[in-house]
Structure 1
Amino acid sequence: MKKPSTSLLLLLGLLFCKPGNTQNQDSAIVLILDSIPTLVRSISPFPKFTMETKKYQLTIFDNFNEHRFNPRPGVLDTIIFLPQSDHTILSFYYEITRQPLDYVVRRGDTLGFRFVNGMPYVTVHDKKKEAALNYEYNKIAKHGFRHTPFELYKEPVTVSKSVNELLSYKSGLENQFYLPARGLLTGELSVLNSWKEFKQEFLHMYEFYHDKLTNQIYSMDRAQAQLTADTIKNILYANKAKPVSLSYSYFLPLLETIADSAILKKATLLRYSNGSELDYREVYDKTNEWADVNDFYKKQLLFKYLQKIGDKFSLSDLEKYLSKFAEFSKDTLLVKNIKSKFLVADNKMALSKDSLYMLDAQNRQLSLQQVLNANKGKVVYIDFWASWCFPCRQQMPHAKELWKQFEDVVFVYLSVDKNKEEWAGAAAAEGLSSRVHNYVVLNAEQSAFLKSIDFGPIPRYLLYDKDGKLVHKNAPGPGSEEIKKVIETYLKK
């Protein structure tokens, strides 16, 4: 028998070995994955054309909140999840050119997953429930595990004969498969509606798959300009009137495309010297005033646009709109998500002007001065960078050479990313995660220190001597020969 991974045994202990923690045992969803295949993340169907994805293999939708996982391939792996909702949606992304399979899971369920033709198949003790859980798997199996017309509509790369056909005639290929795909989904919806036993015994599953098929048809119709303004208005009215009972609805991506036309395309385009950007503050305000959408779905849209504000605008703008969102949504989990993702501190450290404050990978806050004080007697080389800065990342291979050559030098990496996840991902990719001094800056906009050194474009490098004195506020980059000479000079002092 294959052994589960050590990390998951530890997780089991954290969840279940506390006295009196029986509620967690009853509420947890346990997923046991038997040798999930490695997800092929890129394919090259044509010369000089590569299709790539960074999607997670497994997403759990719990009251519309996304929790994403990449299970360990080729081993017996276990995921334990404590849901907020009575029913959650598991979405399995198993192949780059195929649509994910969705499963409706109840609080307290334990599901086994084996993989047939690379596709996830659920096993449970109750065979009737097993058949219901594998509703989408069984639909694909009826097609001989071939791509369905709907998948061909969504991913025409699978039938394109050349990259020119794909790029030049993508809309033509979509038009070609629109009617077959629509006919397939309409037929599946009809079969689902006639399956009385399924509806009676597994109501939540029935409601989810009915919602999915219905809104996928609407989304295709809209993409093909087959939805009239009156039809769209009726769809919005119907969804505003009925309560939200699902952990995720395919109405949301349809609503996002409607919002694109109703709000985004009419928003102000801000022009800068290096490009242009939609004013997502205006988009947020217009969405907040949108009377045709119920508050639950409006919250999902506002959350999306709030993240755009965090990505594109200042920290003060984000804090202003986060305050609006918190008042409107009353959703502390989503507010916490934004604060964590965009480094919005509850304390005032991030707003302080008297120093430069950072966060490490363990969410510990500290100042640059603390790092300098702890490394008195050593030369300190500071590298300001960001995940989105191509010139910064070009220098990283040279940085690794400096580490090897100057083991007595303290190398400090300060990211000015606004998004914590993007910083962490880029730091891991560049080999910085294992470095002691890998941080993201919290108060770049407010820091008097950065103003004092005329901080601007990155990459930017600083050099401190053994006494903790800034001796070079525009130090040479790691790829230059000059930096080696400068470091050697200060090491000898």
Structure 2
Amino acid sequence: MIKVIPLLLLSIATLAQPAVIRFANGHSFNGRFSITPNQSIGPMPYPITWHDSSSSRPIESKADTPRPPLTLSPEGSSAVFSHSLNHFDYVDFPVRPGDTLTITYLPEGLTVRNKQGLFYPGVFAGPVAPGEYSALGVYRNPYLLVRKRLTLRHPNWSKFTPEDKERRKRQEVLQVRKELDTRARKEMLAAEQRNDSLHQANRIPAFLYAFNRDKITQVRRRIDVVAGDVPDSTLYQWMASHTPWQSGAYDQYYLEFVSTVVEEKLVPTVPLIHKSYLRPDNRVIFDRIASSPLFPPKDRDALLARELGAIREDYSRQDVQAYFEKFSRLASDPTLVAFLREEFSASLESDRVPSESLTLRNTAGVKTSLADILNMHKGKVVYVDFWASWCAPCRAAFPASAALRKELKDVVFLYLSLDDSPAKWQKALVQEGLDTHKASYLVLNPDLSGFIRQQKIAAIPRYMIFDKKGNLAIGNAPGAGSPETAPLLTKMTQTP
């Protein structure tokens, strides 16, 4: 299966007027899902997701604990707020700049009210009892159910080869979706009827009605594609005539539909290769999309950009450069090519060479190295935080880190991002209030750095402490939220 990620990467918009999400009480959705009597998945530490035009951000929310309000700025005319109720089902709705919404949790779900006191009614599958899931929820994300079936059916599952596991998983996903086809279509019909009824009675905001209508249309099309009911000419027509449900809005369900077309039409015969995990070869998928007559130019460009992102993630620098050149020749939108050239700058830079230190870049584009920074701050303790915009635990620790910075004025707090996208890094800096913190850098050579290799930095967040002489004192230090951190740093600042 290919990863469904945002396809449209045309621009990083200036942050708009923020929206505020308030929480009247704490949720009780722990989401635990049993695989076998002795094995389960859960709870869900990040049930909330904020989907924007260029990224999706998971947000922590602990069960039975009211979380502080969220202040987030949609990049375009709206973003999408999503809240999981379990590992299959979720509630989602568009959020516009300037909105103030209040979430109230109920035992079976949640309600949403705007600042005018108007409710956002739900139109999709009603409340589901603990341990039960809607057909639509399982249809859209059948992998946990598939894992349960396969591990129960094959007691020696762990001994299967990765290739055999992937082949059986795909067969089982197709079977599960075939079994759920009728129920999922009925749920979509019921949702459509509720949405239309609420609209006719003026009981639903127009933009929410449009969002729901588009969601229903695109999910139905996904079901039709999986069922093999749609000729290629109709698929092309659907894509060529598509317009977003609202200008400038995040077009999540259309993107999922287009991804399903790729998954069902092009991916099944793509060879599997071992990268960070066993998956279809993204280079072959790129080439098949490039030569396929299925996709209008705008969708072909976006799909090629997505595969280019996957190639950057796990393939060689030579592959990244070769496929970026292919993309530059094939893409119909020069604006997208220019944007991705900046996005891929860390992978394409000619001076990106192996180094025993870390090559860094600040927000102004000025390059330096970890060795130079340590030398500049000799005489002070340096606390290093390795993070990335996509790392939810990293970002969840930033409030504690900010409190430490305020308390420990003699310590240099150095934030080193392992993002592969300068734009996503800079956007996250603004969101986390680090854009004015001078000791914030993007690491340009994480895969080529001897320092990364020697210190075995394979997972983040990761913290380090350098002493006043610039020597690495603690290679795996406690995090910013640990009660050990402040006393430890204080003691080190007092040591000559």
Distance 1:416 1:81 in 2: 23
Aligned match for 2:54, one of 62, 65, 82: 65
Name the residue aligned to 1:293. 295
Report if aligned partners of 1:59, 1:66 keep a CA contact under 8 Å in 2.
no
Residues 255-311 of structure 1: CA distance to partner in whole angstroms, max 9, x if unpaired? Answer: 212212433345466689x99864423432432444432344334423321221112
Does the C-alpha gap of structure 1 residues 49 and 108 become closer, same or farther in structure 2, counting only changes over 3 Å?
A: same
**Where does residue 100 of structure 1 map in the other structure?**
90
Amino acid at match of 2:243: P
Describe the shift of the 1:325–1:172 C-alpha distance in structure 2 as closer, same or farther (beyond 3 A): closer
Structure-2 separation of matches of 1:249 and 1:415? 27
- Distance, in Å, in 1 between the alignment partners of 2:279 and 2:176 is 31
1:213 is matched with which residue: 211, 216, 219?
216
- Equivalences for residues 255-266 of structure 1 within 5 A: 255-266=258-269
Structural mapping, 1:241-260, within 5 Å: 241-246=241-246, 247=249, 248-260=251-263
Q: Offset of 1:115 from its aligned partner?
A: 0.9
Aligned partners of 1:199 and 1:206 also within 8 Å: no
Residues 407-422 of structure 1 correspond to what in structure 2 (within 5 A)? none
Q: C-alpha deviations, 1:67-120, integer Å up to 9, x for none?
A: 41415542352222222322x242423333332211123332211111111633
Given the alignment of the two structures, is residue 81 of structure 1 paired with residue 67 of structure 2, yes or no? no
Unaligned runs of at least 5 residues, structure 1: 1-22, 378-411, 424-436, 461-466, 470-476, 479-493
User: Which stretch of structure 1 is more off in the superposition, 352-361 or 253-262?
Assistant: 352-361
- Per-residue deviation at 1:189? 2.3
* TM-score (normalised: structure 1): 0.58
Q: Cα gap change, 1:38/1:65 in structure 2, threshold over 3 Å: closer, same or farther? A: farther
**Is contact 1:240-1:292 (8 Å) kept?**
no
Q: CA RMSD in A?
A: 5.6
Aligned residue identity for 1:84: E
Amino acid at match of 1:189: E
Tell me which amino acid in the other structure corresponds to 2:358.
Answer: Y
Deviation at 1:253, TM superposition (A): 1.7
Quick check: 2:198–2:204 contact (8 Å CA) kept in 1? no
SS at match of 1:184: helix
Pick closer, same or farther for the CA change 1:441–1:191 going to 2, 3 Å. Answer: closer
How far apart, CA to CA, are the structure 1 residues paired with 2:256 and 2:85? 21
Which of 289, 307, 310 does residue 308 from structure 1 map onto?
310
Identity %: 17
C-alpha change, 1:157 and 1:200, in structure 2 (3 Å) is: closer
Q: What is the identity, as a one-letter code, of the residue corresponding to 2:236?
A: L
State the partner residue of 1:135. Answer: 122
Larger helix proportion of the pair = 1
Distance 1:249 1:54, change over 3 A: same
Please give the residue correspondences for 1:317-466 in structure 2 after superposition, counting only pairs within 5 Å: 317-319=319-321, 321-322=323-324, 328-329=332-333, 335=339, 344=346, 351-352=352-353, 356-359=357-360, 366-367=368-369, 369-370=371-372, 442-443=444-445
Equivalent in the alignment of 1:395? none
Question: Aligned residues, how many?
Answer: 386
8 Å Cα contact 2:101-2:112 kept in structure 1: yes
Deviation of 1:252 (Å) = 1.9
8 Å CA contact 1:218–1:227 kept in 2: the answer is no
Query: Aligned partners of 1:148, 1:210: CA distance in 2, in Å?
Result: 19
Q: Which letter does structure 2 place at the counterpart of 1:215? A: Q
Matched residues in 2 for 1:41 and 1:339: separation? 39
Whole-Å Cα distance in 2 between the matches of residues 200 and 56 of structure 1?
Answer: 31
Contact kept in structure 2, 1:299 and 1:329, CA below 8 Å: yes
Amino acid at match of 2:30: V
C-alpha distance in structure 2 between counterparts of 1:420 and 1:120, whole Å: 36
Specify the structure having the higher radius of gyration (Cα).
1
Contact 1:32 1:113 in 2 (8 A): yes
Distance 2:151 2:448 in 1: 51
8 Å Cα contact 2:100-2:115 kept in structure 1: no
Using a 3 Å threshold, how does the CA distance of structure 1 residues 192 and 317 change in structure 2: closer, same or farther? same
1:442-486 CA-to-partner distances (Å, cap 9, x unmatched) read 336777xx6xx9x999959xxxxxx999xxxxxxx99xxxxxxxx
Q: 1:368 Cα deviation (Å)?
A: 5.2
Any conservation in 1 of the 2:283–2:311 contact (CA below 8 Å)? Answer: yes
> Equivalent residue for 2:493?
none
Superposed CA deviations along residues 104-145 of structure 1, whole A, max 9, x for unmatched, are: 233322111111116331112545x41xx22247x514x779
1:192 corresponds to 2:195:
yes
Letter matched to residue 32 of structure 1: R
Give the residue type in structure 1 aligned to 2:71: I
Question: What secondary structure does 2:86 align onto?
Answer: coil
Amino acid at match of 1:351: R
Distance 1:200 1:372 in 2: 61
Q: Name the counterpart of 1:281.
A: 283
Q: Is the 8 A contact 1:309 1:318 kept in 2?
A: yes
Higher RCO (CA < 8 A, seq sep 6+)? 2
Q: 1:69–1:415: structure 2 CA closer, same or farther, 3 Å change rule? A: closer
